[in-house]
Amino acid sequence: MIDTHCHLVPGVDDGPKTAEEALALARSLVDDGIERVLCTPHYSSLFPTEHADAARRLGELEDDLRELGLETALAAEVSPGHAVSEPVEELAARSIARRYLLVEALHDTPAAFFEALFTRLEPAGLLPVVAHPERCRALQRGTSLVDWIRRQGGVLQVVAPSLIGRFGDEAAETGWRFVDTGRASLLASDAHGVRRRSVRLREAADLVRRRLGDAFAADLTERHPALVLAGEAPDR
């Protein structure tokens, strides 16, 4: 599988604090069946991660990660505030294949934010991957805003803890609605460590597989992630 949302880089956010903790998380990713991982350290007011520092820290683990059989790439999980306020050059540096930007949808992110987001990213030729939209109150209310985001070229990324109920019933119900109706294109781990917010991607993918079939689960965890990492649009 390919994981498109993971806090693997040590010492930069609320993920692993040390290289040893990061390698423990990497082993957990591999044990879960993940072969490629997009590292997405927070870029926010609370965690103003410098991209060069994150790249250096990840590079220091490169040999060990390769020995584990884990291929990595680096982007960021950008907060709503930073997505509309930071220089577009900073956003582009943290993008996926210079095409997509992973932007987190928080519980209280307002509906009006998403139009502002597209307006902000358009000059840089970027489109948002909306992280854990199922946890956002404005997106839980119905499908009209979600469908508008998708028509503009945005991509929805549901995270595994939501589908298995770790964020409550409403997030689980909304996440499954996005998956069942084909509105979600990606399923990711959002893993932060081996104890807190651990890797549960295989568990969530197995639930999708039993509910919707092997091909559907593979789309969310293999084929669509590969397309996004290449800067291409997943199937609608």
pLDDT band per the 50, 70, 90 thresholds, residue 190: very high
Q: Structural domain boundaries of the chain?
A: 2-229
The mean per-residue pLDDT over the stretch 109-113 comes to 98
Other Cβ atoms within 10 Å of 87 Cβ, number: 9
pLDDT tens across 62-74, in order? 999 999 999 999 9
Mean pLDDT, rounded, for 169-185: 98
Rg (CA), the chain: 16
Residue 89's alpha-carbon distances to 38, 93, 95, 103, 121, in angstroms, are 20, 6, 10, 15, 10
Q: Which CATH class is domain 2-229?
A: alpha beta
Nearest to 18 by CA among 75, 57, 63: 57
**What is residue 189's predicted lDDT score, i.e. its pLDDT?**
98
- Does position 196 have pLDDT exceeding 90, yes or no? no
Task: Provide the mean pLDDT of the chain.
Answer: 97
Calculated CA dihedral for residues 232, 113, 149, 199, nearest 10 degrees = 60
Summarize pLDDT for 116-134 with one digit per residue, the tens: 999 999 999 999 999 999 9
197 has pLDDT over 90: no
Given pLDDT bands bounded at 50, 70 and 90, which one contains residue 236? low
12-33 pLDDT, tens digit each: 999 999 999 999 999 999 999 9
Query: What do you get for the CA distance between the two ends of the chain, in Å?
Result: 20
Amino acid, res. 35: E
89's tokens: 């050059």
pLDDT value of position 149: 98
Long-range contacts of 57-64 (CB under 8 A, 24+ apart): 57/9, 57/10, 57/11, 57/12, 57/19, 58/8, 58/9, 60/19, 61/10, 61/19, 61/22, 61/23, 61/26, 64/23, 64/26
**Which residues are bridge partners to 187 per DSSP?**
158
Q: What is the average per-residue pLDDT within 204-223?
A: 98
Do 99 and 128 touch, CB atoms closer than 8 A? Answer: no
**Within 13 Å and on the Cβ side, how many CA atoms surround 232?**
8
**pLDDT attached to residue 224:** 98
